[in-house]
Amino acid sequence: MNITLYLVSFSDELVSRIVAAIERDLKLKVKNFRSAVVPEFRRIVFEVTDTDVNYVRRRIEEIVSKELGDSWYKIEVEV
């Protein structure tokens, strides 16, 4: 199962910090990390195995909202 995080950020450092925090806190591996046509728009896919997906989603929301503040982001769960 995958959880995809979409966000908008002009800072590569900020995006890297968010990804590192999620990897460290939830022990998730980044499956795919790329920019779309617009460099500020990021799509980050995390692989989730044997974990409560709702808990993982909540923790990702907490980490991202703490780092991004009011900036736009979206989390999708792919079954």
Q: How many domains does the chain have?
A: 1
Instruction: Identify the pLDDT of residue 39.
Output: 74
Instruction: Identify the pLDDT of residue 4.
Output: 92
Interval 8-36 mean pLDDT: 84
- 1 three-class SS: coil
Written as one string, the DSSP assignment of 8-72 is: E-S-HHHHHHHHHHHHHHH--EEEEEEE-SSTTEEEEEEE--SS-HHHHHHHHHHHHHHHHTTS-
CATH number of the domain bearing residue 50: 3.30.70.260
Render pLDDT for 30-77 as a digit per residue (tens, 0 to 9).
876 766 677 788 889 998 887 788 999 999 999 999 988 878 899 999
What is the domain range of residue 29?
Answer: 2-78
pTM of the model: 0.83
**Residues 11, 67: Cα–Cα separation, whole Å:** 12
Q: Which residue has the higher pLDDT, 32 or 21?
A: 21
DSSP state of 79: -
